[in-house]
Amino acid sequence: MNAVNLDGRVAPDSLTIAYLAIGAYEFLQTMREEDRNFGIDTGELEFIDEVTRAALELDTYADATEHDGFCFCYEIAQPFGYEYARAIYEQTGMKPAELIRDVYARAINACK
């Protein structure tokens, strides 16, 4: 259930958080499969927590964006979690808003 008030969303949807974590975990699994060093200053839990902190921003964007024709959790939140985890790992400095637009565009194009 979405947590909203009259001013808009105040908390992320729990499924958004869950699917961001799934995407981040998949990124970590890819790193392990490739025998790549995790190489960041935090542990796995802190890393996934950092990714999931973008959930409110992602949900707020979703609330303002038409997304008919695809499943938000599978086609937006999970891939965003993976891509944002990679951006954090690679220290690209990419902000969640930039990546959110990119992930949305790919999902919309895939549905056409």
* DSSP codes of every residue in 82-97: HHHHHHHHTT----HH
From CA 37, how far away is CA 68, in angstroms rounded? 39
The pLDDT of residue 112 is above 80: no
DSSP state of 54: T
Q: With bands split at pLDDT 50, 70 and 90, how would you rate the model's confidence at 40?
A: low
pLDDT at 48: 94
Q: Which two tokens stand for residue 101?
A: 């637009």
Question: Tokens standing for 62?
Answer: 């979703």
Q: Give the residue with greater pLDDT, 12 vs 74.
A: 12
Rounded to 5 degrees, φ, ψ at 5 are -130, -170
Percent of the chain clearing pLDDT 70 (strictly above): 82
Which has more confidence, 75 or 24? 24
Task: Compute the residue count for the chain.
Answer: 112
Q: Which of 34, 28, 36, 37 is nearest to 86 (CA)?
A: 28
Q: Which helix (H) or strand (E) segment is 6 a member of?
A: none
Cβ neighbours of 4 (radius 10 Å): 14
Place 50 in a pLDDT band, splitting at 50, 70 and 90: very high
Q: What is the pLDDT of residues 52-99, one digit of tens each?
A: 999 999 999 888 887 665 677 788 899 999 999 999 988 888 899 999
Which H or E run contains 104? helix 96-111
Place of tokens 């890393």: 47
